Homo-oligomer: A and B are copies of this chain.
């Protein structure tokens, strides 16, 4: 069952075409790994999916609903974009936790504000907050951070911060969770704990798109791999197709660089 369809996404900054027509689709519960060298447009693609950038052309379709159509983008209202964003979650490379809130507060802030706008969906405020907090606690337990929930970001290690960032995205129950190099700002030793959480999510059939430089992990966890080069999808397929039998010369060269030989 297709959850996401991306058609012919293009994006130009100034006079540099960064995305040159990206097409791919994703089934519910699949994990997509995007690999590719620096500057190939991976981050820009994720930012387009999360409406942080407006593509110049193309469509984004989620659950058969057209969320974005470049042809009509100028008539989309701010509040419509806000709603569209909630189909996606995004975990940044540099976490971007809110430094003035504890781990728990970071997780609860967005749903609390959203609910306040909707009069707490008919519940009383305190009832809603109790429910929200128990939900947040559940997620905290899932990522193994129950004990640090009252710590501020600066009191957490990089790996712990990234896990809070994942929890913050999860609580909004996005259809598709995106990761932009979730471990590249981390010490190698702390990388493991974040990868473990992502692996756990994949076992629960969370639909995910993961931009990563961790080749071994990408191969392990993905159901589908895209190799991007220079704003285009150069090659896509199953992990074994890409990693063991890359068809394209560019893919082969890219993978070689990771071994340092």
Question: Which A residues contact B (CB, under 8 angstroms)?
Answer: 37-38, 184, 187-189, 191-193, 195-196, 199, 213-214, 217, 257-261
Contact = CB atoms under 8 A, between A and B. Distances in A.
B260 A189 contact: no
A258 B213 contact: no
A179 to B, nearest CB: 14
A259 B189 contact: no
A215 to B, nearest CB: 8
7 contacts: A184-B188, A187-B213, A189-B258, A191-B260, A192-B259, A192-B260, A195-B260
A38 B158 CA distance: 13
A193 B258 CA distance: 9
A210 to B, nearest CB: 13
This chain's copy number in the assembly: 2
Given A184-B187, A188-B214, A192-B260, 5 more contacts: A38-B187, A38-B189, A193-B260, A195-B260, A199-B260
A195 B261 CA distance: 8
Given A184-B187, A187-B184, A213-B187, A192 B38 contact: no
Output the residue of A195, A258, A260 with the most chain B CB within 10 A: A260
A196 to B, nearest CB: 5
Nearest to A256: B192
Nearest to A215: B188
Contacts of A217: 260
Nearest to A157: B38
Contacts of A187: 38, 184, 213
Contacts of A193: 260
A192 B258 CA distance: 6
A128 B24 CA distance: 62
Leading 9 A-B pairs by shortest Cβ distance: A195-B260, A192-B260, A188-B213, A192-B257, A196-B260, A38-B189, A189-B213, A192-B258, A37-B189
A198 to B, nearest CB: 9
B258 A188 contact: yes
A220 to B, nearest CB: 9
Contact of A257 (B184, B189, B257): B189
A154 to B, nearest CB: 17
A2 B195 CA distance: 42
